[in-house]
Structure 1
């Protein structure tokens, strides 16, 4: 996939409105939320590598029901045209299980053979940043929208 990934916290009303939008409306809404001060986490292009490190498979093949896969790519995929990007949400009540699974990961024990040390360190940092972001979302009672564009 190789495109930029971003996570944005949203409240219940915003999530409900977004579920009715098409891809271009979703992207516009996310950009406006960020500009207006909504908390977000920018994982850049490393979401694909992080998914691979955590699950052993590409993010283009997410593993339904796997909290580590869902940590990276979200739980509920929005039905939008492929050219509009990828959007998924993780609802607030799903964050606890994802956080618990992430807290069990010993990043130093992951099979990242052949991955340069610099990339491994970057992935470890992104993992920690994403875990912290999810903790804030859970504490704030927010849902998380993951987008790739």
Structure 2
């Protein structure tokens, strides 16, 4: 199955409760209709959005937060969150990124050298289309949460 970048829309009240009661996450997972994902495209999209392949310093790239979220809720699982205001800001920024601009950042040679997940040394033209399709999904996830004034819980697993 692989490691999939997953998002769960939450209200501000639900997020506040989750921060007070970490076990509440299990209950939130029951809302499958609020979940969406970018499949295994998370590291490739991170690269296209930030120009970086190194995941050790993800905090310095604000657009990278669309992939890895913001503040860590659970260190062991890598679960993070973005508040509704952060989602709104990031959604606006994502909407301004044109497909051609993102496509121009696709550097197959560098991506293969860096062995980015999930294709490691197999990045090619089909994989570029896959990333561009998943970028549209990412924009939809953020737009939907923003329109509903919701935050996002994010995790890769």
TM (norm. structure 2) is 0.76
1:65 is displaced (CA, Å) by: 5.2
Superimposed CA distance per residue, residues 53-77 of structure 1 (whole angstroms, 9 cap, x where no aligned partner)? 2212247335335331011111222
Please point out which of 73, 81, 84 is paired with 1:89. 81
Structure 1 residues 18 and 59: CA distance shift in structure 2, 3 A: farther
1:8 is displaced (CA, Å) by: 0.8
Structure 1 residues 104 and 63: CA distance shift in structure 2, 3 A: farther
Please point out which of 99, 121, 133 is paired with 2:141. 133
Question: What is aligned with 2:15?
Answer: 15
Structure 1 residues 147 and 123: CA distance shift in structure 2, 3 A: same
Q: Which runs of 5+ in 2 are unaligned?
A: 110-122
1:118 and 2:110 matched:
no
TM (norm. structure 1) is 0.80
**Max Rg structure:** 2
Q: Is the 8 A contact 1:46 1:123 kept in 2?
A: yes
Name the count of aligned residue pairs: 140
The RMSD of aligned alpha carbons is 2.2
What is the alpha-carbon distance in structure 1 between the residues aligned to residue 8 and residue 41 of structure 2? 16
Shift >3 Å, 4+ stretches: none
Please point out which of 77, 94, 101 is paired with 1:102. 94
